[in-house]
Amino acid sequence: MGAVSIYIASKHAVEGLTKSVALEFARQNIRVNAVAPGVIATDMFQRFAGGEMGDQITSMIPVGRKGVAAEIASAVLYLCSDEAKFTIGTSLIIDGGWVAQ
């Protein structure tokens, strides 16, 4: 099994765990959700896919750019707020439209 397979399997595991734990604790008013960021402009991304490869990946994002950490932080703040008190067991995808393709 290659690294990509393991990575994808771990993403599916997070989805399943988020849903099952959310259902387990929903009646106790404990909200469980996940945040699924896409390509974010970080040092890690630069190390992984700097230069031409990074440019290629970025060009495939529908909004035409990498996300920034503040955009992910805003989503987390939303999920922690009272505005999200009916949001349970979901993954908030913040990826500039990548999954929508």
Which stretches does DSSP call E strand in the chain? 34-37, 91-94
Which residue out of 4, 7, 82, 85 is catalytically annotated? 7
Residue (of 97, 79, 98) closest to 89 by Cα position: 79
Whether 7 is catalytic is yes
Q: Determine how many CB atoms are found less than 10 A away from the CB of residue 81.
A: 10
Known catalytic residues are: 7
